[in-house]
Structure 1
Amino acid sequence: MKPVTMADVAALANVSKSTVSQYINNRYDYMSEETKRRIEEAIRQLGYKPNYVAKSLKQKQTSTIGVIVANILHTFSTQVIRSIEDVCREARFHAIVCNADDNPQQEKEYIEMLRAKQIDGLIVFPTGGNIDLYQTMVKEQYPLLFVDRFVKDLPVESILLDNEKASELAVDHLVESGYRKIGMLTTSLHSNITPRIERINGYKKALEKHGLPIREEHYKGVDVRQMDQVLAEMFRLPEPPDALIAGNDLTLMEILKFAKKHNLSIPRQVAVIGIDEVSFSGIYHPPLTTIVQPAFEMGKQAAESLLAQIKGSDRERKEIQRFAPKLIIREST
């Protein structure tokens, strides 16, 4: 069958091709409702599908961005993605989401693949393992934005939580609640991932502020698979922690599994507070105290900033923008 063209739609709707083009590109502010209705009905009757490849070649833009998350299992990542997609949909952009799984090689392959598809820009939760590739994009002035992490000495717009403040809120609340042997567990520190390092630093500074000792045996950054063993070692200490801060949602899950496995009563035997809200925090028994990231606001800001880069808009540009965390007090502390 002969493919349906824009001219076919124009003929059936009794309008010009340029009017159909304006409708398809959402430029119809001054178009009558009757004209829009006829074009919409003609498109429906004919089953017309716009040729986005031809459109992108003509406009030199694909109206598509890429989002590369470091680990899609994090609740924060999925919330940010949702918000990015909402902004893109409103702006008539598409978002392609890829999961690097904290693997620099995988991240590199996704960046190269997405750029080969001529997407208009990238939002990346950087693994930090592709400095040369990031620098190349910066030199090319390719629209690029980082979320959750930044790369030192690289002038890329970055959207982050105030991570040290998040840990400070957790320690302050625990101290006010009477706890003094406060521990912290998070995922591996080996790759110098920004939020993990900053949250540990914030934890140490907050202990010092309250005149509490920093005990190396009470804070660890390890692979998720090692957490059960590390927690077992912590609670075999002569003075185990009486409160634990989970550095992220994956760590919180491991702490809760350990507590259940060893019949540790929360908060009677150990108080628990998690950095990152989780969907079950309010219905878990006991309900979990958490430090919340404004993930949807951060995703919205990331998408709007990247689209502004793509459109070349003249705006004030902050290299690093930090969002404030919020303490939600429940019964686990």
Structure 2
Amino acid sequence: MSKKITIADVANQAGVSKSTISQYLNNRFEYMGEETRSRIKKAISDLEYQPNVVARSLKKKSTSTIGVIVANILHAFSTQVIRSIENVCNENGFSTIICNADDNPEKEKKYIETLLAKQVDGLIVVPISGNSDTYEKLLNQDFPIVFLDRLVDGLNTDTVLLNNGKASELAVNHLLENGYEKIAIVTTSLIDNVTPRVERINGYIKALEENNISVRTDYIKGMELSKIPQGLNELFSLDEKPDAIVSGNDLTLMEILKYSFEHQIRIGKEIGLITIDEVSFGPIHSPPLTTIAQPTFEMGKEVATILLNKIRDKNAKQDPAVHRYEPRLIVRKSTKKEGAGNE
């Protein structure tokens, strides 16, 4: 069995002290000549020395790693934001550990405990209801946390999310401008008061009321993903069927598209359809889908930057803020009513 190479072996090979090797490994080159650095680099290469990352992180009291816990990684929003977070962290010398909680509070709590055991320097979380006590304890200990996409009642921490009410208002107003009058909204379960879902329903209601249109509770469907086909059956069994649907997110959209295909409902002709969340297949679907896009990459950059600033300057006491981003309407043909408008 080969002998484990130590920092002392590298120091002997390079003809320098162990502290000089330590400075080199921690990128502290201020008092180190180019020739010394070259000798150390060659010694590390020749001896195939592997630094003990855990030991170094304990000395530095930092692992240069953050944890990211998302509620459901299947959302396009989640994957796009994660990509942006990872990019910012990589540029700043940080690694990311990605965890998918599957909208399960127990799984989320387990991941929190695992990430803390791995001594991550901070957390970015799309929080699920049920673990607010755990987050409160961490915040009271000044542990760096930033929330994404969702607010948590009673917890005061920086949060990055969409102006969800505005997203629904854009959707409803666009449909009304294109001649639709009986507009329904379908989204995933409202049981846990998940911020985007509730705010999007409220924005839908507000837009109808501002246009003097009566709000019909039977046009509002918030249910588990598996029950959405049943909800759509109920909508299309009404005496006054809706002539347009606002889809609350991309997973809901998939259920609506599947249902319309199975029941031969022609989107853009028999029913108008607009979805919150841009989807990769939106421009190539038949017909191309009108969407309300979130600036996911900007949101990911913002949430990562806030967290890294917290990690680097734990003494900076700034009041936490809610950072809202504006949605953008992308008009395509799924909301083009024959004989309406010029779009």
Q: Which moved more, 1:118-127 or 1:15-24?
A: 15-24
* Structure 2 counterpart SS, 1:263: coil
Match of 2:324 in 1: 322
Cα gap change, 1:292 to 1:14, in 2 (>3 Å): farther
Cα gap change, 1:228 to 1:36, in 2 (>3 Å): farther
Distance 1:203 1:38 in 2: 67
Quote the offset at 1:71 in angstroms: 0.7
Alignment deviations for residues 80-102 of structure 1 (CA, whole Å, 9 cap, x no partner): 11111111112211211111111
Cα gap change, 1:288 to 1:31, in 2 (>3 Å): farther
Alignment deviations for residues 204-224 of structure 1 (CA, whole Å, 9 cap, x no partner): 001111111211111110000
Cα gap change, 1:190 to 1:50, in 2 (>3 Å): same
Quote the offset at 1:180 in angstroms: 0.8
Distance 1:190 1:328 in 2: 30
Alignment of 1:59-138 (within 5 A): 59-138=60-139
Cα gap change, 1:198 to 1:30, in 2 (>3 Å): farther
Quote the offset at 1:40 in angstroms: 4.5
Is 1:205 the counterpart of 2:206 in the alignment?
yes
Distance 1:287 1:9 in 2: 62
Distance 1:8 1:243 in 2: 72
TM-score, normalisation: structure 1: 0.93
Distance 1:331 1:37 in 2: 62
Match of 1:295 in 2: 296
Cα gap change, 1:162 to 1:47, in 2 (>3 Å): same
Alignment of 1:210-221 (within 5 A): 210-221=211-222
Match of 1:238 in 2: 239
Quote the offset at 1:165 in angstroms: 0.6
Alignment of 1:142-181 (within 5 A): 142-181=143-182
Alignment deviations for residues 194-236 of structure 1 (CA, whole Å, 9 cap, x no partner): 0000000000001111111211111110000001111011011
Kindly provide the amino acid, as one letter, of the partner of residue 285 in structure 1.
Answer: S
Match of 1:273 in 2: 274
Is 1:262 the counterpart of 2:263 in the alignment?
yes
TM-score, normalisation: structure 2: 0.90
Alignment deviations for residues 254-273 of structure 1 (CA, whole Å, 9 cap, x no partner): 01101111111110011111
Cα gap change, 1:238 to 1:55, in 2 (>3 Å): same
Match of 1:228 in 2: 229
Match of 1:331 in 2: 333
Percent identical across equivalent pairs? Answer: 57
Is 1:248 the counterpart of 2:249 in the alignment?
yes
2:295–2:326 CA contact under 8 A, matched in 1: yes
Cα gap change, 1:129 to 1:273, in 2 (>3 Å): same
Kindly provide the amino acid, as one letter, of the partner of residue 67 in structure 1.
Answer: V
* Structure 2 counterpart SS, 1:282: helix
Cα gap change, 1:177 to 1:59, in 2 (>3 Å): same
Gaps of 5+ in 1: none
Cα gap change, 1:28 to 1:266, in 2 (>3 Å): farther
Quote the offset at 1:36 in angstroms: 5.6
Kindly provide the amino acid, as one letter, of the partner of residue 85 in structure 1.
Answer: E
Alignment deviations for residues 160-216 of structure 1 (CA, whole Å, 9 cap, x no partner): 100001111111111111111111100000000000000000000011111112111
Distance 1:31 1:295 in 2: 43
Aligned residues between the structures:
333
Quote the offset at 1:11 in angstroms: 5.2
Quote the offset at 1:34 in angstroms: 6.7
Cα gap change, 1:174 to 1:13, in 2 (>3 Å): farther
Kindly provide the amino acid, as one letter, of the partner of residue 292 in structure 1.
Answer: A
Distance 1:234 1:31 in 2: 73
Distance 2:55 2:114 in 1: 20
Cα gap change, 1:41 to 1:212, in 2 (>3 Å): farther
2:157–2:320 CA contact under 8 A, matched in 1: no
Kindly provide the amino acid, as one letter, of the partner of residue 326 in structure 1.
Answer: R
2:88–2:304 CA contact under 8 A, matched in 1: yes
Match of 2:286 in 1: 285
